Structure 1
Amino acid sequence: MSGSVWLPPGARPDTTPGIPRQRTPSWAQPDPLDELAVRLDDFVAAAVHPDEIAALLESDGMSDDQIRERYGLKNSFALAEELYERVERRYPEPEGPVHDPWQVGLLGCLLRGVVFALPGLGYVLGAPLMTGPRDLGLPAGTIPLLAGALAGWTWNQGLAHRAYSWLGLGDRTAAKRSLLLGAPAGVVLGALVAFLVAGTGDMTGVAFAAGQALYLGASTVLLVLGRERALLLALLPMAAGTALGLVRTPSTALRLVLLLGSLLAVVVLGLLELRDKPQRTHGRQSTMRPQLVASLPYALFGLGTGVLVLYAALDSALAAVALTLSMGPAEWLLHRFRSGSLAGLRNTSTPRAFWRTTATTLVECLTIYLVTLLVLGLAMSALSPGLLVLGVVLWTGLLLQSFGAILSATAVCCAAALTQTLALLTHTGTPHWVALIVHGTAAAAQAALVCALLGRATAHR
């Protein structure tokens, strides 16, 4: 019967009069927003935050001009908010086990921490080989070594990012090609910087710096390609020589053999990894190509953090060792946080709930890292408030880097490194207090940036 409402059996009709629904005239144009909402219904319904929808719109190539012309809204964010309001939230459970790309083993990360720290034994084993007058109050050869190390860290950080970018695109051959071209260039750069800094001084430190540059290039190849175990085995002779030094003093010849033996092993393993192996490709290869300039912020981030760690090493070599060893647990906790934030995306239904979940996970992971660093500092009798604060700077910097906020992390760390350098050159304040103030300011700035990004779902992709 016309105008009646069908009700299921047993249901009571509403006694209030119904409001007639406005029908769209046959001549009226359909609402473009409704059409877009229907087309993107599944994605919009599962979005935790409008920023997720904005990212999808931008990835589809929808410009702000197109949005203003077709939908009458200011930009992609305004359109995303409108779609977010129009579509009811639905969070269907995925079929089968949920894929979590951030699940990594603790043992592998701890192994990387050990591999990061072991090269420091080379300086202990090789220190008696460097003779000459002290430079700026430091042992002979220290200045060329530090300059070469900073150049190497900077170059190889950028090189590693470029190689990882190729690996992310599924092109392992291109990643190896970038390492094959970039690693030797880094070796030349590190040795040249050490030579220029040494000037007319003793060349022993320059020779050691050249070996250091060669090691940094070869170890970058092995670490990027996931050959940590091979690198560890190559460093064992040098580690054994350092352990022998605790019992009796090794001869000069034995020191050279152990140092050159480990260096040669690392270089040979790196070259073997870069050999071209025939690969069978399926389907069409990606035409995407990472931009060289995209690796520059990562290189500068390596420079900034390298300067901060070097200042800590000049104050206490054992503190630097503790920091280096802590990078293994730091990497694992970083992956654990990203895994927890991914679970938060699935299990929360509002932006506020998602922010609370990720904030709780962040506090847990940062606390575990600081406890780990505290234990390492106590074990090496190198504990200081500055060590823990610097640990916060390094870990939050890595977290911002994984969020894609590499420019922010680089700006903070480089500013902190520059400030500490100027303070030391101008003798402004006590070095310990300067370091504590600089590190504390950097840690607070990066923590604020992390908190601002916690609730942004697109940062956790």
Structure 2
Amino acid sequence: MSGSIWLPPDARPETFPAIPRQRTAPSWAGPDPVDELAARLDDFVAAAVHPDEIAALLESDGMSDDQIRERYGVKNSFALAEELYERVARRHPEPRTPPHDPWRVSLLTCLLRGVLFALPGFAYVLAAASPLPLLAGALTGWTWNQGLAHRAYTWLGLGDERAAKRSLLLGTPVGVVLGALVAFLVSGTADRTTAFAAGQALYLGASTILLVRARERALLLALLPMATGAVLTLLNSIPNTARLTLLLASLLTVTLLAVLEIMPRSYGLKGRGAASNVRLPPRGRDKPPHTRSQPTTQGPRLSSSFPYAVFGLATGTLVLHSALEDNLTAVILTLGMGPAEYLLHHLRSAGTTALRSSTTPTAFRRAATRTFLHCLTTYLLTLLALALATGISPTPLLLLGTVLWTALLLQSFGAILSTTAICSVAALAQTLGPLTAPTVYAIAATTQAALVCALLGKATAHR
């Protein structure tokens, strides 16, 4: 805010003295260019919660500070934004049609994804293999596929579904080879554990494709044979041949479904979920010959996905440490990713609603903070209920859950570098062992919660 208090037109006495602002007078006579700009941007400025939103719009329109000083007589885009914010009355008219909310998501879908994250753990019951090579291969797969998924989602956000599929088609085999190779190097021999690690790497790559393409139900059906075999093994031992058959059945089904999703001939098919509303560019044969080789969209840089890969490595390391301490902690955290994802979307959805309904930055910050506390409390109560039901210590679970949920929230705000740095330091501290796990989790959770609170009040972070 600029320090002045806005009053509606019918409540502003005419006797109030005008407070002069230090503006450089334009070099030519005529209508005030700031008033003209305010009239042109009236709807956007009237709905802005904070002048920073207006400044972001001015900068996106390509206005430099030199141009602003020459034409409007103010120092920079932020000063011009404050001028516009003060001259236009706040109003938030209700749209004629329900506004688009990109964060609205089904609770059932999120819960299903949580189950899908936890269900592959049953494969370890059937495999009965050495855990260390498998954990090393899994950590490699999580790292690679986190970066690959970010790149595919970025292409989808740019409206290029073909490029998203191409990135998955080229990147998935590399991740499979890396995961299997790391497991082999840790194991040192080509035995049953190495073979299972190769299958694990193949599953991680194929399931990433299906999750990016919003094929959760198909993935669930493909995992049923493996889950059924694991339950039977826990209840009553079954022959090794049956175990291997059930494992291979699920693995081959998931792989086949993933291949069908990214085959070149499927580029013309319309996907479901997040990709269903993406309009594909015209096919090359419909273009003039001299334009066929020219890309329709400038794609994201490969380096932009690197922080997301490191984020996957850091959070995966934290979860693996918890699994080494207590397997149930990792299982509960994995199952809790469903409610965590839903509450994250709910918070972001409430933020977009608050942008339309709040009339002052203070009211917006208050609404966003209240929603944040509600969502975080609900998530922690969910983890607490699962901890009490399974009899594990709730303190490390709740602290690590706070770290993971606030990390995902910061990632959604675009603060990927900050949360990656915090989670990486926490993972290193826990790996090297100078501090206890609860202490590491508490420091990381407190730091990330403070960053979240700093971002909650910024309207531009919710756009």
TM-score strictly above 0.5: yes
Question: Superposition pairs for residues 1-400 of structure 1, below 5 Å?
Answer: 28-127=29-128, 130=129, 141-199=130-188, 201=189, 203-275=191-263, 276-277=265-266, 279=268, 281=280, 287-400=297-410
Q: What are the Cα deviations for residues 25-75 of structure 1, in whole angstroms up to 9, with x where unaligned?
A: 997244333332222122111100111112111211223343344444443
The answer as to whether partners of 1:143 and 1:197 remain within 8 angstroms in 2 is yes
Return the letter of the residue paired with 1:115.
L
Deviation beyond 6 Å, 4+ runs, structure 1: 24-27, 282-285
The answer as to whether partners of 2:160 and 2:297 remain within 8 angstroms in 1 is no
The answer as to whether partners of 2:165 and 2:262 remain within 8 angstroms in 1 is yes
Q: What are the Cα deviations for residues 253-285 of structure 1, in whole angstroms up to 9, with x where unaligned?
A: 111111111111111111111123353857799
Aligned position for 1:133? none
Are residues 26 and 265 of structure 1, via their aligned partners in 2, closer, same or farther at CA, if it must alter by over 3 Å? Answer: closer
Return the letter of the residue paired with 1:222.
L
Which piece of structure 1 moves more, 368-377 or 25-34? 25-34
In 1, the alpha carbon distance for the partners of 2:26 and 2:182 equals: 77
TM-score normalised to structure 1 length: 0.86
Rg larger in structure: 1
Which piece of structure 1 moves more, 295-304 or 246-255? 246-255
The answer as to whether partners of 2:352 and 2:462 remain within 8 angstroms in 1 is yes
The answer as to whether partners of 1:374 and 1:383 remain within 8 angstroms in 2 is no
Aligned position for 1:10? none
Aligned position for 2:440? 438
Secondary structure in 2 matching 1:153: helix
Q: CA deviation at 1:378?
A: 2.2
The answer as to whether partners of 2:113 and 2:216 remain within 8 angstroms in 1 is yes
Return the letter of the residue paired with 2:403.
V
Which piece of structure 1 moves more, 381-390 or 104-113? 381-390
Q: CA deviation at 1:384?
A: 2.4
Secondary structure in 1 matching 2:93: coil
Return the letter of the residue paired with 1:454.
L
Return the letter of the residue paired with 2:90.
R
The answer as to whether partners of 2:46 and 2:92 remain within 8 angstroms in 1 is yes
Q: What are the Cα deviations for residues 164-223 of structure 1, in whole angstroms up to 9, with x where unaligned?
A: 111112221111111000110100111111222223x56332222111110000000000
The answer as to whether partners of 1:169 and 1:286 remain within 8 angstroms in 2 is no
In 1, the alpha carbon distance for the partners of 2:317 and 2:27 equals: 70
Are residues 224 and 25 of structure 1, via their aligned partners in 2, closer, same or farther at CA, if it must alter by over 3 Å? Answer: closer
5+ residue gaps, structure 2, are 1-12, 19-24, 269-278, 288-294
In 1, the alpha carbon distance for the partners of 2:26 and 2:198 equals: 80
TM-score normalised to structure 2 length: 0.86
The answer as to whether partners of 1:48 and 1:457 remain within 8 angstroms in 2 is yes
Are residues 202 and 314 of structure 1, via their aligned partners in 2, closer, same or farther at CA, if it must alter by over 3 Å? Answer: farther
The answer as to whether partners of 1:322 and 1:380 remain within 8 angstroms in 2 is no
The answer as to whether partners of 2:45 and 2:84 remain within 8 angstroms in 1 is yes
Aligned position for 1:8? none
The answer as to whether partners of 1:337 and 1:361 remain within 8 angstroms in 2 is yes
The answer as to whether partners of 2:350 and 2:368 remain within 8 angstroms in 1 is yes
Aligned position for 2:273? none
Q: Percent identity?
A: 67
Aligned position for 2:417? 407
In 1, the alpha carbon distance for the partners of 2:261 and 2:101 equals: 28
The answer as to whether partners of 1:45 and 1:90 remain within 8 angstroms in 2 is yes
Secondary structure in 2 matching 1:245: helix
Secondary structure in 1 matching 2:348: helix
In 1, the alpha carbon distance for the partners of 2:58 and 2:87 equals: 16
Q: What are the Cα deviations for residues 212-237 of structure 1, in whole angstroms up to 9, with x where unaligned?
A: 11000000000000101111111111
